[in-house]
Structure 1
Amino acid sequence: MTEDSLQIAPEEAEAVGTPTGYRQYTLFDISTDPGLKDDDGNELPRPFNKNQMRKWLKKVRWETHKAEKRAKEKARAKERRKEAREANIDLGPNRKSLKKMKFEKSKKNIGIIIDLSFDHLMMEKDRYKVIKQILRCYSINRRSNTPLQFHVTSFGEKSKNDISRHNGYENWDVEFHEESYLDVFPKEKLVYLSSESENVIENFEDDTFYIIGGLVDHNKHKGLCHTIATEQGIRHGQLPLDKYVNMQTRKVLTIDHVFEIVLKVCEGVSWQDALIKVLPVRKGVHVCDNISNSSLDDNDKT
């Protein structure tokens, strides 16, 4: 396949409900022919430039081979578990048994909300990163003995389309809401997490929902979540990073890192240990020298 001739097989086109007429044309034909039509004489919707064509072909091939790739992944996982059993290695519960687990209770009735109201501010690849991080949050939460209540709000069409690539997301132990968090939860029970907030959170309150902004913006919209919280009149706060660790990079964390830190602290892990375990090595994290033993002892009692 060359740049001048990106073609597609009939079965691949049919996999996503696209007219098979596409396979008859090279990129040059598609970009210059003003009137491509199917066998019934209907004009075909089509990409208009080379980059759009590449994206379209990538999607088609993903949809076509998705089932095959999933089957291969399951076969490999089955083989690994078989080898582990023979070697007396415990790999923990498998995915099938984890999916059957239901979160009847959450520690201290604490919840996390991921706010997906920022779709219009992100490119497609950044929206995919958000979905991938949500998937990571779901994974670590369902493996916890004391999982948090997990909600996703402002779950619009773009988000639904992005997450639909992950089969079975409707069965996750996650509450998806099309509405804003303000339309679902009482305002007094909400706290927006933001690194720009002047309020430092030391303890997570019962019957309270902590909001994480679902935004990957590469620092283009610095302070946006803090501004939104202030304008909406809801509480806001930041994690006590400066108190317990030093970082060689800026304090902005990914969605899944914030989620996992909150989860570990709610499980009873100290702030210092939670931050050291969760934050990646590239952040250059090390323990603050000025942490008093009394501060650590008080934190362990929460």
Structure 2
Amino acid sequence: MSNEEPDVALDQPNAEPDVAADEDALETATGDQPSVPMTKSAMKKAARRERIAQQRGERRLREREARKAKKRERHEKRAAGELDEEDMPQPKKRKLISFGGRVVVDLGFDKDMTDKEITSLVSQLGYTHSANRAAGTPFSLLFTSLNGQTLTKLTNQNESAYLRWKGTEWWPENYDRLWATDEAVKPTVVYLTADSEEELSELKPDETYIIGGIVDHNRLRHATLNKANEGGVRTARLPIGRYLSELRTRKVLTVNQTFEILVHWVESRDWEAAFNSVVPKRKFDEGGRKNKRKKGADDDGDDDVEEEEKKIVLTTEISQKYYCISNAGQKSGPRPHTNRLANSIPNFFIDDAKPTSSGSGEQ
């Protein structure tokens, strides 16, 4: 009689199950499967998303191949002289006329500004470039002394997008590089500063105009004037006082405002029209809210905004309502949580996308 055990020993009634193997199998199954099983609806949605993603990839591949084929066909026709005008890619109909002048933005005040001021300056540079792109008579834009935190912030924005700005040039050196090889260029350079004694009457296509890239909230008075005088550079101020004598604030503009005024003057040859198209109307009321009360009228509601900016707005959620508390601590009444409340918050509580504070540009 053979001593070998039958292969079907586990099928015998007295055979003990392999508990350790069963536990390992259970752990493996539990680890591979999600804790909450997917419903049929969720599975259908997941399959649909996967199918749409696959179809999108296939469609993009077909479109790419079609563009390549069309480009290859157009190249072959051009080489054979068979290309019709209708097959030629049509250029943009927007006609640009270069003014001939150059605008330089001096970024050499990086060490004198706070981090918040540099952030505001970087935003102003973006608006300056956008204004130049939209202009029918664009300038040649040059940015000098690009170093420090200004360079860091520009580099961190959208993978150094500033390097892809068309019609711009960036120098790490100071603007005196303009006449480093030709001293005759220096007399054609004008530093625009609000503190200059000379008033600019017109822009000339053979001159270069420097705008101070500084945001200081009136901390660094005469900074651009002193720098220009030390370098022996001619200075001039925009004729704001002549055409906007009722402007009640200090006649200092942001970088992009100064640049936009130059662009508008080139297109209209009218300083007053250029100023009115750029400078906010709320800055023209000399007496502020008091004059409006004497007149008994509120034309455009700008003074209401200024009145609101005199309040410290504290938002406290009580039964889904918010309260606006004035400096005196008196409640002006409950308000629902709407956009009107957000609009009443003073500017210095908000990180504005578009800079509105003075103290830069024509400094």
**TM-score over 0.5 for the alignment?**
yes
Equivalent position amino acid for 1:194 in 2 = T
Match of 1:41 in 2: none
After TM superposition, give the deviation of residue 227 of structure 1 in Å: 1.2
Which residue of the partner structure matches residue 118 of structure 1?
Answer: 109
- Paired letter, 2:196: S
The alignment covers a number of residue pairs equal to 186
**Helix, strand or coil at the partner of 2:206:** coil
SS of the residue corresponding to residue 199 of structure 1 reads coil
The residue number in structure 1 matching 2:290 is none
Q: Deviations over 1:91-123 (max 9, x none)?
A: xxxxxxxxx99998621x111111000000011
Deviations 1:186-225 (A, max 9, x none): 3222100011100000111122111111110111111111
Query: 2:249 & 2:163 partners in 1: Cα distance?
Result: 36
Q: Deviations over 1:222-266 (max 9, x none)?
A: 111111111111110000011111201110111111000011101
Q: Is the 8 A contact 2:268 2:274 kept in 1?
A: no
The answer to whether the Cα contact below 8 Å between 2:97 and 2:136 also exists between their aligned partners in 1 is no
Equivalent residue letter for 2:147: G
Residue 149 of structure 1: aligned partner: 140
* Whole-angstrom CA distance in 2 between matches of 1:261 and 1:226: 20
**Residue in structure 2 matched with residue 182 of structure 1 by the alignment:** 176
Residue 284 of structure 1 and its aligned partner are, at CA, apart by 1.7
AA matched with 2:194: S
CA contact (8 A) 1:106 1:147 kept: yes
Secondary structure in 1 matching 2:257? helix
Residue of structure 2 in register with 1:274 after alignment: 274
CA 1:103–1:256: 2 relative to 1, 3 Å: farther
Distance change >3 Å, CA 205–CA 124, structure 1 → 2: same
> How far apart in 1 are the matches of 2:109 and 2:283?
25
Q: Distance in 2 between matches of 1:112 and 1:148?
A: 6
1:204 corresponding residue in structure 2: 203
* Partners of 1:101 and 1:117 in 2: CA distance: 38
- The structure number with the bigger radius of gyration is 2
SS at match of 1:216: coil
When normalised by structure 1's length, the TM-score is 0.58
Q: Is the 8 A contact 2:261 2:274 kept in 1?
A: yes
Does the Cα contact within 8 Å between 2:96 and 2:138 map onto a contact in 1?
Answer: no
For 2:204 and 2:190, the matched residues in 1 are separated by 10
Cα distance in structure 1, aligned partners of 2:188 and 2:277: 29
Q: Quick check: 2:145–2:174 contact (8 Å CA) kept in 1?
A: yes
The percent of aligned pairs where both chains have the same amino acid is 33
The whole-number CA distance in structure 1 between the counterparts of 2:131 and 2:271 is 18
User: How far off is 1:157 after superposition?
Assistant: 3.6
Given the alignment of the two structures, is residue 171 of structure 1 paired with residue 164 of structure 2, yes or no?
yes
Q: Does the Cα contact within 8 Å between 2:189 and 2:210 map onto a contact in 1?
A: yes
In 1, Cα distance between the equivalents of 2:109 and 2:271?
29
In structure 2, C-alpha distance between the alignment counterparts of 1:140 and 1:252, rounded to whole Å: 19
- 3-state secondary structure, aligned to 1:184: helix
Partners of 1:279 and 1:285 within 8 A in 2: no
- Residue pair 1:201, 1:237 contacting (<8 A) in 2 also: yes
1:106 and 2:95 correspond = no
**Partner of residue 219, structure 2:** 220
CA distance in structure 1 between the partners assigned to 2:131 and 2:285 by the alignment: 22
Deviates more, 1:246-255 or 1:182-191: 182-191
Letter matched to residue 170 of structure 1: L
Query: Given that residues 102 and 142 in structure 2 are in contact (C-alpha distance below 8 angstroms), is that contact kept between their aligned partners in structure 1?
Result: yes
Question: Any conservation in 2 of the 1:153–1:177 contact (CA below 8 Å)?
Answer: yes
TM-score (norm 2): 0.49
Q: Which runs of 4+ in 1 moved over 3 A?
A: 100-105
| Equivalence for 1:259 | 259
Find the counterpart in structure 2 of residue 130 from structure 1: 121
CA 1:223–1:103 in 2, change beyond 3 Å: closer, same or farther? farther
Taking a change above 3 Å as real, the CA distance of residues 217 and 204 of structure 1, as seen in their structure-2 partners, is same
> Residue 74 of structure 1 corresponds to which residue in structure 2?
none
The 5 A counterparts of 1:1-302 are 106-107=98-99, 109-167=100-158, 168-173=161-166, 174-185=168-179, 186-245=185-244, 246-284=246-284
Shift of the alpha carbon at 1:161?
Answer: 0.9
